[in-house]
Amino acid sequence: MNAPCARRAPLAGVRIADFTIHAAGPFCTHLLSQLGAECIKIESRTRPDAFRKPHAVYGRMSAATFDQVSANKLSVRLNLKQPEAIALAKRIVSASDIAAESFRPGVMKRLGLGFDDLRQVKEDLVFLSLSSCGQSGPDSHFAGYAPLFGAWGGLGWMSGYSDGPPVEMRHVMDHSAGIHAALATMAALHQRQCTGDAQHVDLAAREVASAMIGDALVLASLGLTPERPGNADLGMAPHGVYATAQDDRWLTLAVRSDAEWRLLAQVLGLNADDMRFVSTAGRLRHREALDGLLLASFAQCNADDMAARLQAAGVCAHVSWNMEDIAADPHLRARGAVTEVSAPDIPARLAVGAPARFSRTGDVGIRRLTPTLGQDEEYVFGELLGLSTAQRADLEAREVIL
């Protein structure tokens, strides 16, 4: 590898034809774009991404959710009801390495943009389909969104308190599905590099949730009914989130060993030799009494000061941060995990950067803001596909480009 190549982003030179919508699929392609891939998002004025909802956010008329998954991307308009638009979409795919979609199974095929159709124009295409329940199976026709992914996959049932209802999972499910999709897509891209073969990646969001329920599924297979653990842990006590003297300022705590218990007791002035609590088994057995002591102690303290004291003593503790804490955190700023982005007509604002760092390149993360609809047609239709200004004007007049 020559030196200039070594300094490029890991996915520099990879191009994605992005047909994804909503959050899970767009988050996948957003992650790949942060690693250097060129991502061309295909929409239309009559059917824009559902998250392009205009309202004032950060001083601009767009939705925060859309910004969250669409920075770095290029935008073109194609009216996929028109055969000529389908032909142009295929030309974009033919110049790409990856095509990604997140419609219900069968939608892309009906448009003439299914895997078999697209590998006719790109014989080594990596084609990602991200859906609720997958491309096959008795439930494949079901639609869904984030809370349903967690509900179907059992993760919602295992979240919450034993005396309360299951907890609805929201963006964490979309993003978890997107992360899995990005990983699977990169694996398929690597295999293509080795074999030269096309591959269809079929990812079901509900199965991502099922993959995260862990030992609860093992218990169920043995005929046992797992209980929602709340903030408790099967192997650690104390373990949870505790109120402090400050309103809505919570302390998160996890004690992993008897030695850490003694350190915690020393900081709080508790009796470390109380026979109920000297062993992990005892603390688990008397969890309710132990939590009562901790609640009384923490209720008198400043959350940030106590977290600092416990950390200094070697106990795993931290304040449960709100978004203002995240935005102001100097550590995240120093690492570029939270970064400031701006444009001539847009006020500067914070964005979430790429969480990974690469020793041989710094060129990862957000390089440009969310595109306006059709913002990059000069490059995609003009430079990439070679359409003249007159041809593009004609296609717009006939609502192929719409």
- Which residues of the chain fall below pLDDT 70? 1-6, 53-65, 342-346
Determine, yes or no, domain membership for 238.
no
Q: What is the pLDDT of residue 191?
A: 96
Beta-sheet strands, E only, within 68-153: 74-77, 98-101, 126-131
The C-alpha atoms of residue 55 and residue 59 are separated, in whole angstroms, by: 9
Q: What is the pLDDT of residue 57?
A: 45
Tell me which of 321, 351, 383 is where a domain ends.
321
Same domain, 309 and 369: no
Q: What is the pLDDT of residue 119?
A: 96
Same domain, 137 and 284: no
Determine the structural domain holding residue 255 and report its residue range.
Answer: 249-321
Coil, helix or strand at residue 174:
helix
Going by C-alpha positions, the residue among 66, 16, 17, 75 that lies closest to residue 44 is 75
Same domain, 314 and 350: no
Determine, yes or no, domain membership for 229.
no
Same domain, 166 and 112: yes
The residues, ordered by sequence, that sit 6+ positions from 215 with a Cβ below 8 Å of its Cβ are 226, 234
Tell me which of 289, 321, 353 is where a domain ends.
321
Instruction: Give yes or no for a cis peptide into 229 (omega within 30° of 0).
Output: no
Determine, yes or no, domain membership for 326.
no
Determine, yes or no, domain membership for 219.
no
Structure token digits, residue 361? 């390149």
Determine, yes or no, domain membership for 197.
yes
Same domain, 38 and 183: yes
DSSP letter at 15 equals E
Same domain, 114 and 21: yes
Going by C-alpha positions, the residue among 100, 131, 115 that lies closest to residue 198 is 115
- CATH value at residue 111: 3.40.50.10540
The C-alpha atoms of residue 234 and residue 281 are separated, in whole angstroms, by: 10
Same domain, 79 and 48: yes
Q: What is the pLDDT of residue 217?
A: 84
Backbone angle region of 300, left / alpha / beta, with phi > 0 → left and psi within -120 to 50 → alpha: alpha
- CATH value at residue 303: 3.30.1540.10
Distances from the Cα of 22 to the Cα of 43, 179, 367, 387, angstroms? 12, 15, 22, 30
Same domain, 156 and 265: no
The C-alpha atoms of residue 26 and residue 157 are separated, in whole angstroms, by: 26
Tell me which of 275, 292, 321 is where a domain ends.
321
Going by C-alpha positions, the residue among 330, 369, 373, 375 that lies closest to residue 58 is 369
Same domain, 147 and 202: yes
What is the number of structural domains in the chain? 2
Same domain, 201 and 82: yes
Q: What is the pLDDT of residue 63?
A: 54
Same domain, 264 and 361: no
The C-alpha atoms of residue 322 and residue 331 are separated, in whole angstroms, by: 15
The C-alpha atoms of residue 115 and residue 67 are separated, in whole angstroms, by: 29
Same domain, 284 and 182: no
Determine, yes or no, domain membership for 221.
no
- Exposure of 45 in the CB half-sphere (CA atoms within 13 A): 7
Q: Is 346 exposed, middle or buried (0-12, 13-18, 19+ CB in 10 A)?
A: middle
